[in-house]
Amino acid sequence: MSEVLNKTVARNIYYGGSLFFLLLFLGLTFHTNANFPERDNRGAITEQVAQGKRLWEENNCIGCHTLLGEGAYFAPELGNVYKRFGNSTEAVKAFIKSRPAQGIPNRRSMPQFNFSDDELEALAQFLKYVSEIKTANWPPNIQG
Ligand code: HEC
Query: Angle between the 89-97 and 117-131 helix axes, to the nearest 10 degrees?
Result: 130
- pLDDT of amino acid 96: 97
| pLDDT tens, residue by residue, 56-97 | 999 999 999 999 999 999 999 999 999 999 999 999 999 999
Confidence band for 2, pLDDT divided at 50, 70 and 90: low
Residues shown for the chain: 144
For ligand 1, atom 27, the nearest C-alpha belongs to 76
Q: Are 68 and 80 in contact (CB under 8 A)?
A: no
Q: Are 134 and 38 in contact (CB under 8 A)?
A: yes
| pLDDT tens, residue by residue, 7-54 | 999 999 999 999 999 999 999 999 999 988 888 888 899 999 999 999
Name the pTM for this structure.
Answer: 0.86
Instruction: Report how far residue 34's alpha carbon sits from residue 142's, in angstroms, rounded to the nearest whole number.
Output: 29
Question: Which residues are near ligand 1 (CB < 6 Å)?
Answer: 56, 59-61, 63-65, 74-76, 78, 81, 84, 92, 95-96, 99, 101, 108-111, 113, 123
End-to-end CA distance of the chain: 56
Instruction: Report how far residue 50's alpha carbon sits from residue 122's, in angstroms, rounded to the nearest whole number.
Output: 8
DSSP 76: -
| pLDDT tens, residue by residue, 117-137 | 999 999 999 999 999 999 988
